[in-house]
Each structure stands twice: as structure tokens, then as C-alpha cells.
Amino acid sequence: MKIQIQSIHFDADRKLLAFIEKKLDKLETFYDKILGAEVFLSLQNDDEKGNKIVKVNVKLPGTEVFVQEQSNTFEQAIDNGYEILKRQLSKHKEKTQSR
């Protein structure tokens, strides 16, 4: 799966990029027809919820799956988004197999 990662207004370190790629590569175990993914990392001035925002757009044949998470760390936001994407991909797989 091809993963594009864009960090908005800052430079993400290699460790974070490797973590994101490793985590998102696991999504293929739940749905094997993933075409690619786009990840957007940004910082916000809101400290109450956490200032790290992660948006993930997973491209599938004929559709897309999107999740946005906000947390104190990018790693935690990716972990939370991964769990949501896992459920969405499993539901999508069930829908397409029942047709």
C-alpha cells in the first residue's frame, strides 16, 4: 500500500513516519484491496483536547474511508484512528462480500 504523509507547518521526524507506516500497513490484514492512504499531521493551539491532529484518508476501489483524531501525541492519535479505520474497513468488507 502506498502511504503519503504530509506534516503541515512542521517537519515530522523519521521515527514518527516509520510508526505511521508500520501501523497503517497492518490495515491490509482487514481489507486487502486498499489502494493507498493519505495522512495529514497538524498542530492546533487547543490544549484542552490535545494539540496534535491526524487525518487519515484510505482509498478503496470506488470509495474512501476517512478518520480524524486529536490527541496529546501523534502516536496516540494514530492508534485511535487505526482502531476506527479497522472497524470501518471490516464493515466495508462485509458489505462488498454480501453483494
pLDDT band with cut points at 50, 70 and 90 for residue 97: confident
Position 99 scores a pLDDT of 65
- pTM for the model stands at 0.91
- What integer best gives the mean pLDDT of the chain? 92
pLDDT band with cut points at 50, 70 and 90 for residue 17: very high
Across residues 72-81, what is the average pLDDT? 96
**How many whole angstroms separate alpha carbon 41 and alpha carbon 53?**
6
- Domains of the chain from N-terminus onward: 2-98 (3.30.160.100)
74 burial level (CB within 10 Å; 0-12, 13-18, 19+): buried
Position 98 scores a pLDDT of 76
Across residues 73-78, what is the average pLDDT? 96
